[in-house]
Chain A
Amino acid sequence: MELKKRVSDREQDPEIRRTNFDEVCLGYSEEDAVAEAKRCLHCKKPLCVTQCPVSINIPVFINHIKKRKFEKAARVIAESSSLPAVCGRVCPQESQCEERCVLGKKGDAVAIGKLERFVADWSRENNIDLSQTLPKNGRKVAVIGAGPSGLSCAGDLAKLGYEVTIFEALHKAGGVLVYGIPEFRLPKDTVVQHEVDNVKALGVKIETNVIIGRTVTLDELIHQEGFEAVFIGSGAGLPMFMNIPGENSNGVFSANEFLTRNNLMKAFKEGYDTPIRAGKKVAVVGGGNVAMDAARTALRLGAEVHIVYRRSQAELPARAEEVHHAIEEGIIFDLLCNPVEILADEKGWVKGIRCIRMELGEPDASGRRRPVEIPGSEFEIEVDTVIMSLGTTPNPLISSTTRGLEANRKGCLIAAEETGKTTLEGVFAGGDAVTGAATVILAMGAGKKAAVAIDAYLKNR
């Protein structure tokens, strides 16, 4: 067997998948997984583990796969992660666990993410019950937000015996996993719902349709409803716009609106009532994961799609795998150009986007070369829909309705990195609400750390 190369997994053909919302990657078969597991060297000091924000015991679970002890592998992962089928699919593994894998120095790193996904899918298909909890201790903890940070914090506290209730603003639990990341990367009914059900199986209650700061305030949770500690995992859901002329024309959407209509409200599916408008020719402005998701969604709804990004391909913040998939599917990249105006017809509907060409100058604070405008290079692209994907910031709803809970200038809650402690006693926070838009696994890591800190806090009270 060739040791330098990883076992490749199966994928839907680009020509076929661009017309459907089924999952793009089909994952490993048992044989593939065992073959890939055999590549792992089971390092004594596994560097891979140090790069996993939830410290999954990677060599041990991979060793179980090698011996075809899949259930044991699942139990090892379950000790550290409550959402393995999700992380195995959407973690930026190349810059996390796999980045430090020793095999990566001379060839391909072990496909840790794909193996994790295999184990998670296998245990779901085989109905393995991984819920193990200590006896209930009768103490109540509230978790705000049912995204990855909230779910993992709640899951860990439930395992320790706490009575945990998650309050979720939307009608469905999952956070970005249900409203943002599309079906073709992360199937909702099979994968996400199942992971949410696993958290519920630990005894966690999820109350949907409750907006903290509106339906009930954080203070009321503590002083009227008897919660002894609160974890805030409310994410970073507020979309940014460019503030250029024409941005409120008909046919200009935030990526959040476009993706929410499609994913949470299932506009793409027959029989669902929520409408969506993809148009014939779409410009998606931005270059992150969110932009790729919006672009590939619009493509599947039948549009010709252009990504408009102000730097070059090397600087695209999206994961390499997503960019690769987008190119394969036929997304057109208009790089080094920046929108300056959205053009509308006489009825106010989008008819084009005026851009200016850019070139790369000196590196900026982020280390990436700063794009500078080339004077006089303006040009127009004819489109009927524009999707703005410029990033998001935390929603001020909770901080503005809770006295003493402080946020920084960007609206991010102030919380200690190791514990999630906020400026209010008994209130902890983590995930995108603290860091600004980041990743699923970092949010989960923050949720886990906060669970440990909440346990310590309540034991000392």
Chain B
Amino acid sequence: MYKIKAKRLLAPSIYLMDVEAPRVAKSANPGQFVIVKMDEKGERIPLTICDYDKTAGTVTIVFQTVGCSTNKMSLLKEGDYFSDFVGPLGQPSEFIEEDIEALKQKKIMFVAGGVGAAPVYPQVKWLYEHGIAADAIVGCKSEDYLLLEKEMKLVTGNLYIATDDGSYGYKGLVTDLLKDLIEKEGKKYDVVVAIGPMIMMKFITQLTKQYGIKTIVSMNPVMVDGTGMCGGCRLTVGEETRFACVDGPEFDGHLVDFDEAMRRSTQYKSQEGRAEIERQEKVTGHVCNLGLGENNEWN
């Protein structure tokens, strides 16, 4: 059993939890993820590691409620337990293997969309702790949905905010902001790391391709085991089939077949959403509007 040591509402329908999982905390690196399971009947839900404290033995997750499982998860309280919490899964971000001096020569830009700001944070923080100040763009619907601004400010070189409605920072999409920074402000980047909804990552990679900037994306296909056993998470990367859970989740964004990935990620959505509605109607006689994906920023 894995205890929830702290829980915070970061923005409407976006929650942060610190979970006690000493083994995971000890081995965690930026870029990796965990799989959590709430109880006997729950699904295995993959979530990116957003922070970790090796001494306290805790791992931080940030999630957005999109369907049946994430909504149930949002009802857990401080002091409650996850029955299962496994990780760290996947490969750490490429840069933690790189030579620090070489890395210091590079200008790195992180682009986060929606709840993607949470997984971007540990990467930027890791770089900062190694003497590298990366820039970051965080995009979200409106000011209310902005995550971890204070924390990010402390560890970034330049932090740019974009909101869809212009309620804070730049009005528009992260892709437009990145384009402006490069074309109007003459910013140069050697690497872009984009984490967020697949559609956002797709457009970022299209843009950076024009400028020839290497781009890393973090893929989030449907998963079951997270250990390479089911093949459900397979993606096409540069004509080859790769398993996101063991080969990724980070890949060279210019090689990923996003259209296929987006299509595959809908495989269980509507079906489960429908089943959940039916179940709730049966149980409570009340109509549920969960799980139909309208709130799914992450996708």
Which residues of A come within 8 Å of B, CB atoms? 169-171, 179, 208-211, 214-216, 237-239, 241, 243, 247-248, 250-251, 253-254, 256-257, 260-261, 265-266, 271-275, 277, 347-348, 395, 397
Contact B232 A273 (CB under 8 A): no
CB contact list, B262-299 vs A, under 8 A: 263-264, 266-268, 271-272, 275
Contact A256 B230 (CB under 8 A): yes
Contact B234 A248 (CB under 8 A): yes
Q: Of B26, B27, B228, which one neighbours A397 at CB under 8 angstroms? A: B228
A-side contacts of B260, CB under 8 Å: 248, 348
**Contacts A208-B84, A211-B89, A274-B43 hold; do A254 and B231 have CB atoms under 8 A apart?**
yes
Kindly report which residue of chain A lies nearest to residue B273, judged by CB atoms.
A275
Main secondary structure of the interface of A (DSSP, over half): loop
Q: Is B166 an interface residue (CB 8 A)?
A: no
Kindly report which residue of chain B lies nearest to residue A243, judged by CB atoms.
B241
Contact A265 B224 (CB under 8 A): yes
B-side contacts of A256, CB under 8 Å: 229-231
In the bound assembly, the distance between CA atoms of A238 and B231 in angstroms comes to: 8
In the bound assembly, the distance between CA atoms of A348 and B260 in angstroms comes to: 8
Contact A273 B88 (CB under 8 A): no
Interface size on B, residues (CB 8 A): 41
Q: Of B72, B232, B236, B264, which one neighbours A254 at CB under 8 angstroms? A: B232
> Top 6 nearest A-B pairs by Cβ distance?
A257-B230, A209-B86, A254-B231, A237-B229, A171-B84, A275-B272
A-B contact pairs, 22 of them (CB 8 A): A169-B227, A209-B85, A210-B86, A214-B27, A214-B87, A216-B26, A237-B227, A238-B229, A241-B231, A248-B236, A248-B260, A254-B230, A254-B231, A260-B229, A265-B224, A272-B41, A273-B41, A274-B43, A275-B268, A277-B267, A348-B263, A395-B229
**Contacts A208-B84, A216-B23, A248-B260 hold; do A395 and B41 have CB atoms under 8 A apart?**
no
A-side contacts of B43, CB under 8 Å: 265, 273-274
A-side contacts of B234, CB under 8 Å: 241, 248
- Return the CB mask of B135-165 against A: 1 if under 8 Å, else 0: 0000000000000000000000000000000
A-side contacts of B23, CB under 8 Å: 210, 215-216
- Return the CB mask of B171-185 against A: 1 if under 8 Å, else 0: 000000000000000
Question: From residue B27, how far is it (CB to closest CB) to chain A in Å?
Answer: 6
Question: From residue A183, how far is it (CB to closest CB) to chain B in Å?
Answer: 16
Question: From residue A306, how far is it (CB to closest CB) to chain B in Å?
Answer: 21
In the bound assembly, the distance between CA atoms of A370 and B246 in angstroms comes to: 35
In the bound assembly, the distance between CA atoms of A260 and B84 in angstroms comes to: 17
Contact B69 A273 (CB under 8 A): yes
Question: From residue B187, how far is it (CB to closest CB) to chain A in Å?
Answer: 37
Question: From residue B85, how far is it (CB to closest CB) to chain A in Å?
Answer: 6
- Return the CB mask of B251-266 against A: 1 if under 8 Å, else 0: 0000000001001101
